[in-house]
Structure 1
């Protein structure tokens, strides 16, 4: 096929130059061969692809940045709607708003908004796309001040399963607006995001590196510090086998260690006092890299590996209301037994997230104060049980302490885990919205929410 009615982008099919590279997503475990990859250039391309898929009975996968841990941005034998080329971004510095295309990464977004000293809560990895992160709720270091990424969305423009282009905001299709802020890609293809921006003039942040034998004590110190810290403070902790990054002492390269990365977005002259319990407390770091940074430099402290597209990934996130001594011990026990390809990320929540600054959204577990991401990342056999088992065992062990999984870090597609991510009655409400906007479940390559039946919708 060389043409598609009404489509102005580029089409790739098996055998086309560039197809093999274009079919791949960030997680190399998702090794699928779609019948068609449609690289869209503007919103009008999307209805054309959907019409073709309906006409030929093709399943549909939607890709923004392609970094989802489950590899949802592709499928076998279907049509992939690739939005990666739609990278427009219009910033209004006076109104502190932005209108963004779904193909942007957070690095691209931050580079532009920071020219005006503005930002929106986003992830720590600049290579992650804005679309999936926002639709899944969205957690970042600014979230304790300003809420989730999705709390800062003012509108969505999307193409629905039947090809209509609609706008959802607080006044227009409010149920759909509620669902899109946390409900993932279940309801349509979002082609524009409206964001509310916030002033961000740099950050005092950096790595505090601890050897492995201080892992438990370092996590307890971090937990106790966060309990008293202002909302302008945040923290992420890496429990890992350290790569040879510049801030890691050379004697800890490829060794197990713990890295606390606190951040302070308040007045710079208050940073020393706020961060002192972490830097000068009973557990002193082996290396202290805390300094004043541009926000974009901070977001690039932890770059993706140069061969990330060959890496197999099984990462899952759990949302915890508290980080008890027992939970810390359990986590470190699993890490010590898990091998060099198993790691954990422990990040701060709370603050504005729990206050829901934009009102109710589909993101359910706002009382969580921590997320814990259990990570297996390796090369070689895509289904290596030796690598997947430690991460799976760790999140299973955390279930008694977990409110539920974080939908943006959910590689397990079983319905019970999607339900756990949204809770009740949130999941039931999402199913009713799904029945209104995608009754045939066309958009199912995601943490899928099946449409409610007619009987359920009447409740």
Structure 2
């Protein structure tokens, strides 16, 4: 197919097809394991372009993959022999510091979003990787270090504007299409192409945070201390912990570069003068860190503590997140035992949940497992052969070993597309409601390159319209 063979009436953006300059770069997502060749990449400039692309998909019968930031581990932002609807150029962001609100387009990354909102000392809960796009993260629920205070990213959405499978451009909020509004807050990209997000912002100027580095021999003690600390910590405190083979980051002592170790990164968003008291059990407790980088930081600087690898475009990734209500000694020992026996490309990330997430500050949404207190990410990252069993097997057996204690997987980190895992991410009742709404809004399953919820059989209709 050539560019000349493609006609999209009303389309003003850029079209890339096989053989055109930039096609090979544009078809890639942020996981080198995913190597797909779409027939057409449509880089949209505005909502009219989105409508034009979907019209072309309906008339041509081509499948559509929707791409925001392109960071989804399963590679849903591309497809073979179909259309990639690329939203990456749609980056408008309007911040109103008086009402503490923002209206954002889906091509923004969290780094871009945070830089703009921080000019006014405002933020919304977002991920720890600034290269992640706002769209997919928000639609899948969205977890971040501010979530213990302010809820999930999706809890802070006030409205969505989207284009539906039949080409309508509409608004979903608490008053307009409330069932669809419910579904979009956690149900992923199953219901349309979101072209604008309305966010509620919160005052966040800075944070007391930093890396506490422990040698491998102290990992169990350090993580048990962190678990016990979090159970008593105020909502303004949060934590991420990593057991890994350490890259040469500035906060890692040189003698631990490329060695196994554990890093705790606690954060305190409350009054800075209280930080020493709140964080003392982690800094001066049973497992004293060999490096302590805790300091007062601007929020945007904190978000960059764990950057993407410099050559992430070549990196193969398999990572899956599980949500746990409890992190018992037995569970923690099992996770760390697996880490110790796996190769150097295997890592474990534990993230703090609870607080406002459990209280559902925005009311009911499609994010189900609000009782979870911990997020556990099992991760393999490597170079070389894409489907290396040496690297994939430890990661797959790692999350499989958690199934007896996990509430369910986290839909934003679900590389396994089998229907049973999508259902587990939502639970039976929420899944059934989402499937009913899919039957209304996308009965032909046009939006299926995602953690897919197929429509119900005809007749099991919702009445949201």
After TM superposition, the structure 1 = structure 2 runs for residues 205-284 of structure 1, keeping only pairs within 5 Å, are 205-284=209-288
- 152, 160, 169: which is aligned to 1:156? 160
Q: Distance in 2 between matches of 1:251 and 1:79?
A: 48
- How far is the alpha carbon of 1:207 from its aligned partner? 0.2
Q: Which runs of 5+ in 2 are unaligned?
A: none
Counterpart for residue 409 of structure 2: 405
- How far is the alpha carbon of 1:454 from its aligned partner? 2.5
1:373 correspondence with 2:359: no
Q: Deviations 1:232-252 (Å, cap 9, x if unpaired)?
A: 000000110000000000110
- How far is the alpha carbon of 1:458 from its aligned partner? 7.2
1:10 correspondence with 2:9: no
Q: Deviations 1:353-386 (Å, cap 9, x if unpaired)?
A: 0000000000000000000000011111111111
Q: Distance in 1 between matches of 2:341 and 2:93?
A: 46
Counterpart for residue 345 of structure 2: 341
Q: Distance in 2 between matches of 1:365 and 1:422?
A: 7
Q: Deviations 1:231-285 (Å, cap 9, x if unpaired)?
A: 0000000110000000000110000000000000000000000000000001100
Q: Distance in 2 between matches of 1:458 and 1:62?
A: 25
DSSP-derived class of the 1:447 partner = coil
Residues 64-73 or 51-60, more deviating: 51-60
- 123, 129, 139: which is aligned to 2:127? 123
Whether contact under 8 Å (2:91, 2:108) holds in the other structure is yes
Q: Distance in 2 between matches of 1:21 and 1:443?
A: 23
After TM superposition, the structure 1 = structure 2 runs for residues 250-329 of structure 1, keeping only pairs within 5 Å, are 250-329=254-333
Q: Deviations 1:147-189 (Å, cap 9, x if unpaired)?
A: 0000000000000001110100011000000000000000000
Counterpart for residue 335 of structure 2: 331
- 383, 397, 418: which is aligned to 2:422? 418
TM-score norm. by structure 1 comes to 0.99
Counterpart for residue 441 of structure 1: 445
- How far is the alpha carbon of 1:202 from its aligned partner? 0.2
Change in Cα spacing, 1:324 to 1:7, as seen in structure 2 (3 Å) is: same
Counterpart for residue 30 of structure 1: 34
Q: Distance in 2 between matches of 1:312 and 1:162?
A: 36
The count of residues paired between Structure 1 and Structure 2 equals 459
Q: Distance in 2 between matches of 1:43 and 1:27?
A: 27
DSSP-derived class of the 1:400 partner = coil
Q: Distance in 2 between matches of 1:336 and 1:65?
A: 33
CA RMSD of aligned residues (A): 0.9
After TM superposition, the structure 1 = structure 2 runs for residues 45-56 of structure 1, keeping only pairs within 5 Å, are 45-56=49-60
Q: Distance in 1 between matches of 2:256 and 2:413?
A: 28
Q: Distance in 2 between matches of 1:129 and 1:421?
A: 21
- How far is the alpha carbon of 1:456 from its aligned partner? 3.6
Q: Distance in 1 between matches of 2:141 and 2:348?
A: 21
DSSP-derived class of the 1:154 partner = strand
Q: Which runs of 5+ in 1 are unaligned?
A: none
Counterpart for residue 47 of structure 2: 43
- 149, 172, 175: which is aligned to 1:171? 175
Q: Distance in 1 between matches of 2:8 and 2:168?
A: 18
Whether contact under 8 Å (2:440, 2:461) holds in the other structure is no
Q: Distance in 1 between matches of 2:390 and 2:170?
A: 46
Q: Deviations 1:294-316 (Å, cap 9, x if unpaired)?
A: 00000000110111011111000
Counterpart for residue 360 of structure 1: 364
DSSP-derived class of the 1:433 partner = helix
